[in-house]
Chain A
Amino acid sequence: MSHPIFYDIFSMAPELMLAVGSMLLMMIGVMGRGGALKPVALLSVFLWLAAGAFVYLNAPTGAIRVFNDMIVLDGLSRFAKLLITGGSVAALLIAVRDIEGTIMARFEYPVLMSFATLGMFIMVSANDLLALYVGLELSSLSLYVLAAFDRNSNRASEAGLKYFVLGAISSGMLLFGSSLIYGYTGTLQFDVIKATLSAAAVPGPASLVVLFGMILIISAIAFKVSAVPFHMWTPDVYEGAPTSVTAFFAIVPKVAAIVLLMRLVTGPFGPLASDMLPVVGIIAAASMTVGAFAAIVQTSIKRLLAYSSIGNIGYALVGIAAGTHLGLSSVLLYMAIYMVMTTAAFSVILLLRRDGAAVEKIADLAGLSKTHPVVAYALAIVMFSMSGIPPMAGFFGKFAVFQAAVAAHAYVLAVFGVLTSVVAAWYYLNVIRVMFFEEPSEEHKPTLHFCPATYAVLAASVIFLAGFIVFPDQLTVWTANATAGLLN
């Protein structure tokens, strides 16, 4: 508050860079007319990397609050922004070759991703319900448009519309919840809400208002992370949206929304932990269950990954429900590993083409280990990792959140989690079965797209997943530091 204004501006440099840069890119795109996709995409990558580099270099000591405490810069926001940067870069790198030569090969694609990234940067730094709303809407609106980006496809338009309508409902819930919180505390600023709530021994009817507001806000976030019971849109949108867009949806926004939830749970709603953590725990258990059982019957890879992401969010929420520092740092670890797994899975899907589009059916992968062994083994590693089988990285993510749950005496949640992960293992193994145990059929034979950028992303992800066991330490140190001051 006492900072001079240019200090505030300097602290927000990554966001400002993204905002100004995105608009510049839009102008460059307009001037370049057609064929501007590649240069704009390349410039976007550099823009995001520059923003990410600034975030990395400008490491805050403790938590810095700027712009009248609307924005907070701390270890958590820094770690989340680095993840978002990495995820966006990876998602764009694997997308470009996929949209080339289609109706989607337009410069708006990377620009929209850029705005979405900016929105997520603001989300993870929000320290005020209004800043939260602005960031969330900016990213959501960009995502709605991206979902319907394949204009000639009915499925994509339907996905975009569905996403928009349901997203609008969740925004409404967020606003309604915020207004209730404002009505009780008289402020939108997180720190003041926290102080008010912890000071007041919240009395009867008023406490109901606060609880109601909190539940509405958490529901809105649950919608964004596609946690049960707000997950209905996920399979349809994942399936309908163009595959490269689905990849972006799966890789990045969930990280931002989970981080936002972590901030809400530890910040403004921290004093209500005893009411709130059971709610998160129930959502986690429901997500794990739905993610495990509903995926079994899927035949589409994208729907499979949609349910898998619902389940994965459930596991991440276990860490939040633990309500401890270990839990929170485990969530970050889990999300980082989840992001890499999803990136790798979508890289493989985008590499494999059938009839001029990315593969859609699990059956299309039949006999992949014979026709394209390298990607088959890569996908097998990803699948083993997703099912949490050691020695892959996915095991350590699950281990971390369950260990946190056990340490917080949430035994039921931990047992529930490991049991659903056994159920989930079935469909991950099923993908491996199709690739390895079945013979390739002539009509389903996919071809391989040659795309060095996608290969590079895939190689890096798979090496991370398989090699994590050798040096698991560094990432846990980072996540522990990133979440260090949150619970105070």
Chain B
Amino acid sequence: MTTFPVLSLMTFLPLLGALGLLLIRGSEETVAKMSQRIGIAVSLVVLALAAWMTWHFDGNSADFQFVEKFMWLPAFGLTYHMGVDGISVFFVLLSALLTPVCLLASVQSVEKRVREYIIAFLVLETFMIGTFSALDTVLFYVLFEGVLIPMYLIIGVWGGQRRIYSAFKFFLYTLLGSVLMLVALMVLYSKLGTTDMPLLMDNHVDADLQKWLWLAVFASFAVKMPMWPVHTWLPDAHVEAPTGGSVILAGVLLKMGGYGFLRFSLPMFPDASMYFAPMVFALSIIAIIYTSLVALVQTDMKKMIAYSSVAHMGYVTLGIFTFNRQGIDGAIFQMISHGLVSGALFLIVGVVYDRLHTRDINRYGGIVKNMPVFATLFMVFMLGSVGLPGTSGFVGEFLVLAGAFQASTWVALLAGTGVVLGATYMLWLYRKVVFGPANNPDASEMEDMTGIEKTNLVPLAILVLALGVMPALVFKSTAPSVEKLISQVGAIADAIVIHPDPESFDALIEGIDAEVQP
């Protein structure tokens, strides 16, 4: 492969751009304009680099690619180790894709402290891309945790009415989970003497200790994901965050939880992952059913989409802990799809919010007449969220359910009800906002989408449809890495199958099946 340090470049270019923005001088208006242009330009360069990287990514290899490795802090064995495999490459691309989208969306909706807003997003992009490419546990932690700083400011400075409460809740919830993970990472280092993630995936601590460490790591990623019952920060944060903040939060930050499960929990603590899988199934099913029901009674659009995110993330955790090809593939795909769909849905809400300054569903109605383009795009994403065949949402949910079926029929059955519930609230939302009687004159006078809004949403709509028709775009690159992941877990799974047959994949599934059924 190439030695061009594309990952570092993508990680630190936004940071450089942010520092550059500090140098702009002039009136407030010029500074705002210049910052927007430079910010968008920098993030587009990063997107181009990400596209280049994805293009040159060797989908037939399960190894980490574009690897960079230097000593960083030898006293504690820390290295600066970056690289991507089939699992992380799309998350890097997703981060690089959604940042310019957010910045573009802010051109119309953010009026105060524009420069700081752009800086916050660029710094955030540095941390996001870094998190998905870090291959050293502490480097990962540093970047994973660093995300809190810009996000705290984004919610707190540019947020809505209850922004302070939400910003604190977001920060402290996430921090509480994360510090426990930090202790787990320290224990791993003191036991195995390395912070190198690929090495840790191949060398495990004994099964009893794994359980403790798994729980500590779980605390972090379950909060980030978020899983029921630690999801309560998410609706608050989503509702109060500015549009761009919600998009990044739903689009990328939640994926850090799922990514963490795939990168840490499964390969590093396989025994514990097996042991705790039934618990994860239970929590995922509760998340899917309960939060769908909660979403059903919301009158705030952002809150409804936020709860739907929790439900959709329930599929992700469910899929990951089935330990089979369909489940994990489905989970990864569901994360990417959800990143696009829910990010776009928050943009959609932002479009009408910018016009009417309310998120109350009842304040809208019948806007299909005056906003046909909006109605069309909204429909695409709404159907994507429902999981209609032909959209990306279908692929993820279907595969997760297929994977869950192999693990347990009951799990799949219960999770399946979420699909119905999801359709219920999303269709209801769409009907109330877009169709229905036009009772609100101000809603009927709203103008259709502007050029910038279309520029932002049309590519996302195309991606949602394209991935729905050609999921292989993703799977051809993820396949080897997922196989490797399953083999890392599977090596343990063999041990618990009553009649092990290493050649047969079915035997493996039966083994897990026997394990998870009461």
> Interface residues, chain A, CB within 8 Å of chain B?
329, 384, 389-391, 395-396, 399-400, 402-403, 406-407, 411, 414-415, 418-419, 421-422, 425-426, 429, 432-433, 436-437, 469, 472-473, 476-477, 480
> Interface residues, chain B, CB within 8 Å of chain A?
71-76, 138, 141-143, 145-146, 148-149, 152-153, 156-157, 163-164, 167-168, 171-172, 175-176, 179-180, 182-183, 186-187, 189-190
What's the nearest-Cβ distance from chain A to residue B483, in Å? 33
**Further pairs besides A414-B186, A425-B175: 17, Cβ < 8 Å:** A389-B145, A390-B146, A399-B138, A399-B182, A406-B187, A406-B189, A406-B190, A407-B186, A415-B183, A429-B171, A429-B172, A433-B164, A433-B167, A436-B153, A436-B156, A469-B142, A473-B72
Taking a contact as CB atoms under 8 Å apart, the answer to whether B179 and A389 are in contact is no
Measured in the bound complex, the distance between the Cα atoms of B175 and A384 in whole Å is 12
Measured in the bound complex, the distance between the Cα atoms of B141 and A396 in whole Å is 12
Measured between beta carbons, the chain B residues less than 8 angstroms from A419 are 176, 179
5 closest pairs, A vs B, by CB?
A: A418-B179, A390-B142, A476-B75, A406-B186, A407-B190
Taking a contact as CB atoms under 8 Å apart, the answer to whether A429 and B168 are in contact is yes
User: How many A-B residue contacts, CB cutoff 8 Å?
Assistant: 91
Taking a contact as CB atoms under 8 Å apart, the answer to whether A406 and B183 are in contact is yes
Measured in the bound complex, the distance between the Cα atoms of B76 and A480 in whole Å is 11
Q: Which of B146, B167, B186 contacts A389 (CB 8 A)?
A: B146
Measured between beta carbons, the chain B residues less than 8 angstroms from A407 are 186, 190
Interface secondary structure of A, over-half rule = helix
Cβ-closest chain B residue relative to A433: B164
Taking a contact as CB atoms under 8 Å apart, the answer to whether A473 and B171 are in contact is no
Taking a contact as CB atoms under 8 Å apart, the answer to whether B142 and A395 are in contact is yes
What's the nearest-Cβ distance from chain A to residue B512, in Å? 31
Given contacts A436-B156, A437-B163, contact A402 B186 (CB under 8 A): yes
Measured between beta carbons, the chain A residues less than 8 angstroms from B167 are 433, 437
Measured in the bound complex, the distance between the Cα atoms of B187 and A414 in whole Å is 10
What's the nearest-Cβ distance from chain A to residue B202, in Å? 22
What's the nearest-Cβ distance from chain B to residue A394, in Å? 12
Taking a contact as CB atoms under 8 Å apart, the answer to whether A422 and B141 are in contact is no
Q: Which of A391, A399, A406, A415 contacts B146 (CB 8 A)?
A: A391
Taking a contact as CB atoms under 8 Å apart, the answer to whether B171 and A402 are in contact is no
Measured between beta carbons, the chain A residues less than 8 angstroms from B156 are 433, 436-437
What's the nearest-Cβ distance from chain B to residue A284, in Å? 16
Taking a contact as CB atoms under 8 Å apart, the answer to whether B172 and A426 are in contact is yes
Measured in the bound complex, the distance between the Cα atoms of B212 and A411 in whole Å is 12
Measured in the bound complex, the distance between the Cα atoms of B152 and A433 in whole Å is 10
Q: Which of B143, B168, B182 contacts A402 (CB 8 A)?
A: B182
Taking a contact as CB atoms under 8 Å apart, the answer to whether A414 and B171 are in contact is no
Taking a contact as CB atoms under 8 Å apart, the answer to whether B148 and A389 are in contact is yes
**A-B residue pairs in contact (CB < 8 Å), sample of 10:** A391-B143, A396-B73, A402-B186, A414-B186, A422-B176, A425-B172, A433-B168, A436-B157, A476-B75, A476-B76
Taking a contact as CB atoms under 8 Å apart, the answer to whether A473 and B141 are in contact is no
Measured between beta carbons, the chain A residues less than 8 angstroms from B180 are 415, 418
Taking a contact as CB atoms under 8 Å apart, the answer to whether A437 and B187 are in contact is no
Measured between beta carbons, the chain A residues less than 8 angstroms from B145 are 389-390, 395
Measured in the bound complex, the distance between the Cα atoms of B232 and A194 in whole Å is 56
Measured between beta carbons, the chain A residues less than 8 angstroms from B75 are 329, 473, 476-477, 480
Given contacts A422-B175, A476-B75, contact A411 B187 (CB under 8 A): yes
Measured between beta carbons, the chain B residues less than 8 angstroms from A403 are 76, 186, 189-190
Measured in the bound complex, the distance between the Cα atoms of B186 and A425 in whole Å is 21
Measured between beta carbons, the chain A residues less than 8 angstroms from B164 are 433, 437
Measured in the bound complex, the distance between the Cα atoms of B168 and A429 in whole Å is 8
Measured between beta carbons, the chain B residues less than 8 angstroms from A396 are 73
Given contacts A390-B141, A406-B190, contact A437 B183 (CB under 8 A): no
Measured between beta carbons, the chain A residues less than 8 angstroms from B168 are 426, 429, 433
Measured in the bound complex, the distance between the Cα atoms of B189 and A384 in whole Å is 25
Cβ-closest chain B residue relative to A430: B168
